[in-house]
Structure 1
């Protein structure tokens, strides 16, 4: 499994944890907020990876 797919799997797992936590403890619980921040971090990594890959593709042409 490549890095991109690994990030997708991690993002989906973190999203599920966040939703579960929000339903159980509320949207503003410290646990839910932590999961949200961790998901944000994973999404930022994914976007950075996508941007870097796109720049490499564009510069090769």
Structure 2
């Protein structure tokens, strides 16, 4: 499963996290990260500053 790097928050409260083995779904103005059948993070789209898939490093 893929790895994603996400920056979210607003003002001075900004969080930068890397999530391994997750599936990203966007629905009704929300970005939701799932691991298996469990939602591990749910953020309103307006608070997502960046979301990028991280490719595995060779070696």
Work out which structure has the larger RCO, using CA pairs closer than 8 Å and 6 or more positions apart in sequence: 2
Structure number, greater radius of gyration: 1
| TM bracket (short chain) | under 0.3
Higher strand share: 2
Structure ranking higher in helix proportion:
1
What's the TM-score, normalizing by structure 2? Answer: 0.22
